[in-house]
Amino acid sequence: MKKSTLSIDKHFIVGDIDKRIYGSFIEHLGRAVYEGIYQPESPFADEQGMRSDVIGLIQKLNVPIVRYPGGNFVSGYHWEDGVGPKNERPEKIDLAWNVIETNQFGLNEFMDWAKKADTSAMMAVNLGTRGIEDAKNIVEYCNLKGGSYYSELRKKHGYEQPHDIKLWCLGNEMDGPWQMGHKTAKEYGRLAAETGRIMKMVDPSIELVACGSSGLNMDTFGAWEDTVLSECYDQADYLSLHQYYGNQDNNTPEFLANTVAMDRFITAVISICDAVKAKKRKTKSIHLSFDEWNVWYHSNEQDKKLERWCKVPHQLEDIYNFEDALLVAGMMITMLRHADRVKVACLAQLVNVIAPIMTSDTGAWMQTIFYPFALISNYGRGTVLNTVVKAPTYESKHGDAPYLDSVCVMNEEEETLTIFALNKDLEDSMEVSCDLRQFKDYEVKEHIMLTHSDLKAINTEEQPDNVAPVHVKTTKVIDGNLQVVLNSKSFHVIKLGK
């Protein structure tokens, strides 16, 4: 059995967790909106056509913010097509995903849905095929009380009160050649600066996310961040990061070692943000919005076969397995370890499209990745402690990867300490010890484990809990020391309190 130690000190904190780190994403793509969150003909639909079974599952995930309406989709979107009387809304081609968008669901429906799902909106504007003028208009439509053309138009559409959307994305993946209106860093940086300036003139209370790189593998990575921030440092509050991982080579140790790559990505972006801050002699820091992250590869081949111009296709419908759930846990631990700078993050996406929740005409169910997300989102509220992990490592293409990924979250109000731990070892269990003498009289309140004998095990509508967490009853604190054995390939939540 391998051995590891966790060292923490209640005074050595990384930072408070911004609850928006548990965000997600709904794009007009595949069956995310239509047949996902909205399906008027479904027996589960409420009076507005929203799927209440899906809302119930989203509430279990405890998602405080949802990014909308894209993604690549937003770079060709006319938000005006999705507001007003439904019978007057145009059907348009969507060049991001080569489908027909009916516009039967739009901005106002999304805001109604967000309320029902106990979440809030992170709204993206189109900086691909559009620009400053439209960004100005949508902020006016959403956030001004009234007395102007677009705010009155919102009222005419039946929304007397402003939506008051606080967080806005300045476009999407503008570094990507696949993006409609793809730009150089300089072009995008200037546009982001001027669009952001005007949007904040309409509503100074909003916060803005500028586009960073679409992944660490982009050729322009680094130079992109530097140039973009050099142009829009004053207007931006956050810089985005996007990253998806896959196990195409069927090499699970390498796949799980992606937490090392993710950590390196985050650290690099923080360095660039701070370098621009130093060059500009600024006091404000730019925070990180990891607003697309997940595993994505299972559906790639299938998606290549899709016919153009259909409506609501099964697209990006990855069926997740147990090892994907392990990586999702590891990715969340990695982001939490940077809670001082990663303030927003969005699991991409939420329903049907590379998603923890799947729907059919007969119901909605939870994929494997639902569980680590729900556990960390519900248990990971408070302050991240600087968690020093001393663990054996293995070689990977990203460098030495620790077998153990872990982070401790202290909640002073509730007087709890929660340990998240992922044992990536596929053969061996791991004995973990943690000195808890500073946490006098704390004992184990709950120990929840996610494991499975088969790395490729999946959940289905018929068996949504094939891969699901179980409670462990035997874990104890003895003489101020937690000593726990983590099974091979397993994720754990250990909650301690008085």
Subset of residues 446 to 485 that bind ligand AHR, contact rule: CB under 6 A: none
Q: For residues 383 and 416, what is the distance between their CA atoms, to the nearest angstrom?
A: 11
- On the 0-12 / 13-18 / 19+ scale of CB atoms within 10 A, 156 is exposed
Taking CA 260 as the corner, what is the angle to CA 255 and CA 262, rounded to the nearest 5 degrees? 90
**Which residue is closest to ligand AHR by CB?**
71
Q: Of 140, 173, 225, 323, which one is the catalytic site residue?
A: 173
Concerning whether 443 is annotated as a catalytic residue, the answer is: no
Concerning whether 101 is annotated as a catalytic residue, the answer is: no
By CB under 6 A, residue 173 contacts ligand AHR: yes
Binding mask 204-233 for ligand AHR (x = CB under 6 A): ----------x-------------------
In the complex, minimum distance from the CB of residue 296 to ligand AHR, in angstroms, rounded to a whole number: 7
DSSP-derived pairing of the beta strands 393-396 and 23-25: unpaired
The tokens for 34 are 């239509």
In the complex, minimum distance from the CB of residue 82 to ligand AHR, in angstroms, rounded to a whole number: 17
Binding mask 345-384 for ligand AHR (x = CB under 6 A): ---xx-----------------------------------
Q: For residues 13 and 387, what is the distance between their CA atoms, to the nearest angstrom?
A: 9
By CB under 6 A, residue 140 contacts ligand AHR: no
The tokens for 119 are 């979440």
With CB under 6 A as the contact rule, which of the stretches 48-56, 64-72, 216-224, 443-451 interacts with ligand AHR? 64-72
* Residue of 71, 128, 196, 330 that binds ligand AHR (CB under 6 A): 71
With CB under 6 A as the contact rule, which of the stretches 37-45, 69-77, 145-153, 469-477 interacts with ligand AHR? 69-77
Q: How many helices (H) and strands (E) does the chain have?
A: 11, 26
In the complex, minimum distance from the CB of residue 179 to ligand AHR, in angstroms, rounded to a whole number: 8
Q: What is the 3-state secondary structure (H, E, C) of 261-329?
A: HHHHHHHHHHHHHHHHHHHHCCCCCCEEEEEEEEECCCCHHHHHCCCCCECCCCCCCCCCEHHHHHHHH
Subset of residues 289 to 308 that bind ligand AHR, contact rule: CB under 6 A: 292
27 vs 324 by CB, closer to ligand AHR: 27
Q: For residues 269 and 214, what is the distance between their CA atoms, to the nearest angstrom?
A: 12
Q: Other C-beta atoms within 10 Å of 261: how many?
A: 20
14 vs 169 by CB, closer to ligand AHR: 169
136 vs 314 by CB, closer to ligand AHR: 314
213 vs 451 by CB, closer to ligand AHR: 213
Cβ partners under 8 Å of residue 177, min gap 6: none
DSSP class of 35: T
In the complex, minimum distance from the CB of residue 399 to ligand AHR, in angstroms, rounded to a whole number: 26
Subset of residues 19 to 58 that bind ligand AHR, contact rule: CB under 6 A: 27
Q: For residues 311 and 102, what is the distance between their CA atoms, to the nearest angstrom?
A: 8
Q: Of 140, 231, 292, 323, which one is the catalytic site residue?
A: 292
With CB under 6 A as the contact rule, which of the stretches 70-78, 112-120, 265-273, 332-340 interacts with ligand AHR? 70-78
- On the 0-12 / 13-18 / 19+ scale of CB atoms within 10 A, 249 is exposed
42 vs 172 by CB, closer to ligand AHR: 172
Q: Could you tell me where the beta strands, DSSP code E, fall in 327-413?
A: 342-347, 357-360, 363-366, 383-385, 388-390, 393-396, 399-402, 404-411
Q: Are 322 and 457 in contact (CB under 8 A)?
A: yes
* Residue of 24, 172, 258, 377 that binds ligand AHR (CB under 6 A): 172
Residues serving a catalytic function are: 173, 292
**Binding stretches for ligand AHR (CB under 6 A):** 27, 70-72, 172-173, 214, 292, 348-349
